[in-house]
Structure 1
Amino acid sequence: MAYADTRSVINISIEGGGDLTLHQVLQQVLQNNPELSAFSKEVAAYEGTKLQAGLLKNPEFIIGAESFDSSNPNIERSTSFRISQLIELGEKRPARVNVATLGQELADQAYAAKRLEIVARTANTFIDVLESQEQVRVADDTVRLTQAAMGAAAKRVETGKAPPMEAIRSKVAFSTAGIELEQAKRGLAAARAKLALLWGETKPQFGQALGNLESFVEIPDFDQLVKRLEENPVMLQSSKHVAQREAMVELERARRIPDVTIGVGLRRYLGIDVTAAVLDMSIPIPIFDRNQGNELEAHRRLNKAIDERMAVGLQLRTEFARNYESLLAARNEIRVLHDEVLPGAQDAFVITNRGYQLGKFSFLEMLDAQRAFFQNRIFYVRALANYQRLINAIEQLVAAPLDDFINDVKGKERNQ
């Protein structure tokens, strides 16, 4: 549901007071959410990291003077001008570039994971608004019908067909329904404010949220979906982290090889007015420091990254299994409420309401049937909203809309 809406986002503005679709909300959030903006800047920063990693070391220009202030005529005074260059051996520079490149790819996956998280969070908040709107409608219907019941009770009391207590009870029921309506409106206001904050507005400027909680999808098989957990950006991020740690091991291994510094220059002997060429080379002798400590650290951090990837995979599978079973249960709950509970509660309410007006049922029986009907309507709305949230959770885990899996299966069946 939510994931599908992110693949064809176009420029849509939210006009003040206009109704709002999930597509428009996602457009605004993906453009203006500060969390996502921060992750994109981290990806861009790695361009500088890659650039720096590929640069050669700067040469050094050295000026020296020997015996410059000596008064002994037997000692030649000299001045030297030399340029030295560090030459890296062992493919260190390509290894650094590889580490930086994998770092940027890791940041790309972190951005993708954050984007998917924000999309799911936005969709769930949008569902909260849809659910709150439906609850307000149900509460408003309750107020309207309790008001009608209060009028009917007043007439029965006036005609002596019912005791005065029924009029009092009807007023209490009406007041209670009014309180529930106000609570539902406050819940809607809070959900709208939370939704607007996702794209940076402190006060909602839109009308109604447009959406259908009764939109259902065909649920693919468990085994078909669980294979796609490897495509989750969080899992890809963990795999990329392992690859980066492997590259860092290679870099530390390359640093075991000492680098060579070569210098060339001129030396001017001032006493005899002679200029001579100078060539020197220096190389560290790896007796004590062979970079073994850094290499050991890199290996240990690689092992840690491998364990973290396994932990992430296990966590994703556990979360997927829990949400998948909850989704199947939610679908069954909706079916029972829609096919059995709501029709029965509505019939009971209609029968007792008519029977009360004819004096066949008491006010309490009529009120009980009425509240049972509207309470089950609330249960149905909550079940629908929970179903949509679970769909969002599954789509976030497999990083694809569920409709794609069904279309793939149907396409393969047609080709066979």
Structure 2
Amino acid sequence: MFIPPGRRFVPAVVLALACGIAAGAEPATAIPLDLPAAIALAVERHPALRAAAHEASAGAAAVEQAGRLPNPELAYLREGHRAGTRTTTVQVNQPLELGGKRQARVAVAQGALDLARSDHALRRQALRADVIDAFYTTLIAQERRQLAQATLELSGKSLEAVAGRVAAGKVSPVEASKARVAQADARVELERAAADLAIARNALGALTGESLEARELAGGAVATLPAVEPLPALLQRAAGALSVRRARQQLALRNAQADAERAARVPDVTLTIGSQRDDQLAHRQAVVGLAIPLPLFDRNGGNLAAAMARSDGARAELEAAELAARTDLAAARLRFGQARGEALLLEHDVVPEARSVHELSLKGFEYGKFTFLDVLDAQRTLFQARSRQWQAMLDAWRAHAAIERLAGPAQPD
């Protein structure tokens, strides 16, 4: 097809712009992953949460089915085989449920649906807490790797200082051997920190359903801990915790099952309506019947006793859930406060002091004021202080995740 020269310019410009935009655009994986995005990915993709959602959908269908009436029965009966002497009966049998069986059946299905929805909410809340734990475990593993890298660089500077003093004949070559051993230890620690970071990234990627090999985490240093409510306020929230709510719904389901077994003790009747033709008399007559079971041998007593025992057990489980929620929440809040206080103390007091001691000892060694053993001790003390700081931060974040697992977020997302 012929395109006029004036119109050929428009597609070329559009193509050039599209190529320019495509070339200048950054891939989606280059965007750092922050905690809200990680939680959203996990909620959207995690198979356990999808399974719980399907179970809730199945429960809704079961509620709809439980309200259905029993189907009627069409019956055909012929007595005799010779023509002119046969009797033929056509009838419809309709079971009639008595004692509130249908309402009880719907209540049981509704209780199961409420329980399935609670399980879904619990899994969502637990998944959110797992993502928080894994996210900050990865961030702190990243900080530990940087710490190990910095320690390796420090050991390299120490080795250079020792080598200079050995060359000047001021210290024994044994000191250089010690410095090389310290550098090897730092290299091993760096490899261990890198492996821990890879494991943490894999764990977070398994929760979010996304590969994190080429994607950085947003957050950088994790020095800022979230605000947590005081213990009395948290204990008030414990009464409405999802685990307690699920235990209440479990009790409601058991009570509904007991009511259904109680309703099953009332016998149902079957109403029969039909027509009978007698060939010998050559006429047709209506048939009406009513069948009533006689509860002589089975009055459903065993099933009712079992359902009532399960109801009592569910009531005890509710008390246990309330007690566990209060106890675990108090323990998590205390762990958070202790870990947060330790992390702040290490950050503001211990780590700066240890860094200053290491710098002074290294400089003093260069001037012959300290032995290399003093330098190694100062280096080890600095590394341990920084490691304790990040471990305290991790403990605080894990306690925060435990609080959200038990009581839910202070502001639901």
State the TM-score, normalized to the length of structure 1.
0.88
TM-superposition CA deviations, 1:81-106 (whole Å, max 9, x none): 11110111112111111110111010
In structure 1, C-alpha distance between the alignment counterparts of 2:369 and 2:163, rounded to whole Å? 17
Matched-pair contact (CA < 8 Å) for 1:136–1:185 = yes
Matched-pair contact (CA < 8 Å) for 2:234–2:329 = no
In the alignment, is residue 207 of structure 1 matched against residue 215 of structure 2? Answer: yes
Secondary structure of the corresponding residue to residue 28 of structure 2: coil
Matched-pair contact (CA < 8 Å) for 1:102–1:244 = yes
In the alignment, is residue 63 of structure 1 matched against residue 71 of structure 2? Answer: no
In structure 2, C-alpha distance between the alignment counterparts of 1:378 and 1:42, rounded to whole Å? 44
In structure 1, C-alpha distance between the alignment counterparts of 2:351 and 2:127, rounded to whole Å? 35
Matched-pair contact (CA < 8 Å) for 1:267–1:276 = yes
What one-letter code is carried by the residue in structure 1 that aligns with 2:289? D
May I ask how many residue pairs the two structures share in their alignment?
A: 385
In structure 2, C-alpha distance between the alignment counterparts of 1:233 and 1:258, rounded to whole Å? 39
Aligned to 1:408: none
Aligned to 2:179: 170
In the alignment, is residue 398 of structure 1 matched against residue 411 of structure 2? Answer: no
In the alignment, is residue 147 of structure 1 matched against residue 156 of structure 2? Answer: yes
1:389 Cα deviation after fit: 1.0
In the alignment, is residue 197 of structure 1 matched against residue 202 of structure 2? Answer: no
Secondary structure of the corresponding residue to residue 56 of structure 1: coil
In the alignment, is residue 248 of structure 1 matched against residue 257 of structure 2? Answer: yes
1:16 Cα deviation after fit: 3.0
1:80 Cα deviation after fit: 0.7
Aligned to 2:47: 34
Residue pairs, 1:87-166, within 5 angstroms: 87-166=96-175
1:24 to 31, 34, 37: 37
In structure 2, C-alpha distance between the alignment counterparts of 1:113 and 1:220, rounded to whole Å? 21
Matched-pair identity in %? 33
Aligned to 1:230: 239
TM-superposition CA deviations, 1:150-209 (whole Å, max 9, x none): 1111111111122211222111111111111111111111111121122345x5343222
Aligned to 2:311: 302
In structure 2, C-alpha distance between the alignment counterparts of 1:379 and 1:280, rounded to whole Å? 85
In the alignment, is residue 263 of structure 1 matched against residue 272 of structure 2? Answer: yes
Residue pairs, 1:283-298, within 5 angstroms: 283-298=292-307
What one-letter code is carried by the residue in structure 2 that aligns with 1:146? S
In the alignment, is residue 314 of structure 1 matched against residue 334 of structure 2? Answer: no
1:292 Cα deviation after fit: 1.4
Secondary structure of the corresponding residue to residue 39 of structure 2: helix
In structure 2, C-alpha distance between the alignment counterparts of 1:366 and 1:207, rounded to whole Å? 38
In structure 2, C-alpha distance between the alignment counterparts of 1:31 and 1:207, rounded to whole Å? 19
* Of 287-296 and 27-36, the range deviating more from structure 2: 287-296
Matched-pair contact (CA < 8 Å) for 1:15–1:205 = no
Q: What is the RMSD computed on CA atoms of the aligned residues? A: 1.8
What one-letter code is carried by the residue in structure 2 that aligns with 1:164? P
* Of 166-175 and 206-215, the range deviating more from structure 2: 206-215
What one-letter code is carried by the residue in structure 1 that aligns with 2:63? K
TM-superposition CA deviations, 1:319-367 (whole Å, max 9, x none): 1222122122112212321232112212211221211111111111012
Secondary structure of the corresponding residue to residue 216 of structure 1: coil
Matched-pair contact (CA < 8 Å) for 2:41–2:209 = no
Distance 1:217 1:27, change over 3 A: closer
TM-superposition CA deviations, 1:121-149 (whole Å, max 9, x none): 11111111111100011111111111111
Matched-pair contact (CA < 8 Å) for 1:15–1:206 = no
State the TM-score, normalized to the length of structure 2.
0.89
Distance 1:197 1:219, change over 3 A: closer
Unaligned segments of structure 2, at least 5 residues: 1-26
